[in-house]
Amino acid sequence: MNKLQNYAVGQWVAGADNGQDLYNAITGEVVATASSKGLDFAKMCDYARTVGGPKLRKMTFQERGLMLKALALHLQSKKEIFYKVSWATGATRADSWVDIEGGIGNLFTYASLRRQFPDETFCYDGDVAKLSKNNTFIGHHICVPKEGVAIHINAFNFPVWGMLEKVAVNWLAGVPAIVKPAALTSFLTEAVVKEIIASGILPEGALQLICGSANGILDHVESQDVVTFTGSASTGKMLKAHPRLLQEAVHFNMEADSLNCCVLGTDVTPAMPEFDIFIKEVSREITTKAGQKCTAVRRIIVPENMVEDVQIALGKRLAQNVIGDPNVEGVRMGSLAGKSQLIEVKEKVELLSKTQKIIIGSFENFEVKGADKTKGAFMPPIIFFNDKPFTNTDCHNVEAFGPVSTIMPYKTIDEAIELSKMGKGSLVSSIVTADNSIARQYTIGAACMHGRILVLNAECAKESTGHGSPMPMLVHGGPGRAGGGEEMGGKRGVFHYLQRTAIQGSPTTISAILNQYQQGGAQIEKDIHPFRQYFEDLEIGETLITAKHTITDADVVNFANVSGDHFYAHTDVTSLDGTMFTGRVAHGYYVLSKAAGLFVNAKKGPVLLNYGIDECRFTKPVYMGSTIGVRFTCKEKIRQEKKTPEDIAKGIVKWLVDVYDETGETVAIATILTMVKLRNQD
């Protein structure tokens, strides 16, 4: 008997009793037991806060991102181990791909996200706020890692993705995690965590695992902790009301199962490619993971004149669906995750049957390939029809967490919007339409009740990731029944684990705190040109005051001819009446180009190349005869990784380019980036 182990306080330990039996969803055999008896949850939380947290917080965002990348590469090399284990959860190879490689993909995505953060242990948020007339007093926002632990209570349907999509975010933020997978499929989570710990890539204390019950862990949370929950709305509401969460004002993020919908636009006919796209999308969402997805389509909202066509086409496609052992060739749909789940889904189907009729599927009449359907947790797709969805509302309130969905008719797009909202909040809605005006009407009308809206048509269907696939760079969550929380979402998700604090002071002081130059702060002048210095030698605030140049008519004419930009304000003095200009003005891009000519050092040196421009504004007209100069200031430095041992060690330097005229007033301002060689190439 395989007794699952918990990873707690730096050790692998089995529960102190026999624990809960976990079953192979295909064969019905016991595959493992899970128990957490004997674990000290208070010690685990303290270990994360005092051992894992400080180590992660000492790392910069760049270092944490590279850690995620290394871990993703390691897990990718071990993925076949996970596929073998995943079979026992009832998942097909395609189902497991979403779970396993989708989860690893989250690590890769958040590893790449490091490039949007500074090379610091903290980050800043938004733009500087000027709080005084003479700019001697400014404000900004700094975001530092919370000094607590992220406690993730996950659902059974995605034992790998459910863990990795969360820990990728809290690790990048610099916060350790305790993961509690649902016991039903925790044997797969344990297999992944064993590889993570064995790799030695994470600092000790960054990850702990509870395979058995985590009852009582919330009694030990503190104000700096973050608790996330994925699962049923009823369980989530119970956890959310825990007195300790309220007492300590602990951030609680809930992502609950919801009654997601897919809408067929009124413009679509059976002859259009969008009709086939709709049938394929709905069918896929019903059968993938045997319908056990928090994003699965539960409500199929169809124009009333298209109900029969949809029913026939969907019935034909689902009839081709082969149910059985995922290891057997030709099987397209596995089982539910376990017998307990099958019993629960059957109960919900019986409840739904009281107010609507089953038109596709039967619990009694279906075939299973390569397995005994009495031993495994198999069930066929069940499709209901509800002809009065505005009065028979069980379909908007009861979710059968399996391959179960309801077709319902509507007359107008406004009715479709109303039906979509009757689910009282969902993770995702989709609409299939070739009419962009319908897409706009539905999206704007329905958005307040859905965390994500996918618009599908023939133009994007081939590359679309689909209705049921949350993407790491977009938020995953939804209002109302869906829990009211958000996960992932790129930088948005990282901020859930950071404390945002407003800071105020002089530009010089704020520059020193952030290690990012703030305009108006003290500047450092050196005898050596900044382009003659290596990455390590450059100081934040180091400034070159350039020579000056007086703009001439020839400058503007020549630039117009070279660039092809003959806009009237630059070249036609007779067209200036009624404009804001009192004379011909220099091109903004000429001003910036000339600024580059003033601050660039032409000789070969540590500067390897110009990497681009982040921000650029032309703030004042530059007329013929104006004299410009540049204050060229080192604003920020970000060290880059060496992709190969032979690669040049280098970093990106951000420079504030402040172009001013003879009055001292700024006429153009930009942030340019250069790639600069490191002195130390080891």
Give the model confidence (pLDDT) of 222-253 as tens digits.
999 999 998 888 888 888 889 999 999 999 98
List the structure tokens of 401.
Answer: 């967490």
Other CB atoms within 10 Å distance of the CB of residue 85: 21
List the structure tokens of 530.
Answer: 């900044």
- Give the HSE-up count for residue 650: Cα atoms under 13 Å, Cβ half-sphere: 19
Quick one: the chain helix, strand, coil %, rounded to 5?
35, 25, 40
List the structure tokens of 588.
Answer: 């903004």
Give the model confidence (pLDDT) of 333-376 as tens digits.
888 888 888 899 999 999 999 999 999 988 888 888 888 888 88
Over residues 182-201, the mean pLDDT reads 94
Other CB atoms within 10 Å distance of the CB of residue 106: 25
CATH H-level superfamily of 5-134+145-254: Aldehyde Dehydrogenase; Chain A, domain 1 (3.40.605.10)
d(CA 557, CA 225): 62
- pLDDT surpassing 70 at residue 1: no
DSSP 8-state class, residue 321: P
Give the model confidence (pLDDT) of 14-27 as tens digits.
887 888 888 888 88
| Mean per-residue pLDDT over the chain, rounded | 92
DSSP 8-state class, residue 117: S
How many residues does this entry show for the chain? 682
Say if strands 123-124 and 11-14 run parallel, antiparallel, or are unpaired.
unpaired
Residues forming beta bridges with residue 613, ordered by sequence position: 672
Predicted pLDDT at 95: 87
d(CA 361, CA 58): 57
For CATH 3.10.129.10, the residue range(s) in the chain are 523-677
CA 372 to chain centre: 40
d(CA 407, CA 417): 15
Catalytic one of 123, 262, 294, 395: 294
d(CA 191, CA 199): 13
In the sheet that 260-264 helps form, which strands lie side by side, from edge to edge? Answer: 357-360, 382-385, 404-410, 297-303, 260-264, 429-432, 453-456
d(CA 348, CA 398): 7
- pLDDT surpassing 90 at residue 574: no
The pLDDT confidence band at residue 177, using thresholds 50, 70 and 90, is: very high
Nearest residue to 54 (alpha-carbon basis) of 157, 148, 189? 148
Give the model confidence (pLDDT) of 282-304 as tens digits.
999 999 988 888 899 999 999 99
Other CB atoms within 10 Å distance of the CB of residue 528: 11
- pLDDT surpassing 80 at residue 682: no
For CATH 3.40.309.10, the residue range(s) in the chain are 260-482
Predicted pLDDT at 472: 87
Over residues 43-51, the mean pLDDT reads 96
List the structure tokens of 538.
Answer: 């450059």
Nearest residue to 446 (alpha-carbon basis) of 467, 472, 423? 423
For CATH 3.40.605.10, the residue range(s) in the chain are 5-134+145-254
Burial class (CB in 10 A: 0-12, 13-18, 19+), 80: exposed
Catalytic one of 101, 165, 255, 486: 255
Over residues 99-112, the mean pLDDT reads 93
Q: Are 488 and 473 in contact, with CB atoms under 8 Å apart?
A: yes
255 is catalytic: yes
CATH number, span 523-677: 3.10.129.10
d(CA 184, CA 24): 10
Phi, psi angles (nearest 5°) of residue 17: -130, 180
Other CB atoms within 10 Å distance of the CB of residue 632: 26
411: left (phi over 0), alpha (psi -120 to 50) or beta: alpha
294 is catalytic: yes
Q: Are 214 and 36 in contact, with CB atoms under 8 Å apart?
A: yes
List the structure tokens of 376.
Answer: 């495994």
d(CA 661, CA 618): 12
The pLDDT confidence band at residue 494, using thresholds 50, 70 and 90, is: very high
Exposure string (b/e) for 163-202, b if CB count within 10 Å is 16 or more? bbbbbbbbbbbbbbbbbbbbbbbbbbbbbbbbbbbeeebb
Question: 260-482 is classed in which CATH architecture?
Answer: 3-Layer(aba) Sandwich (3.40)
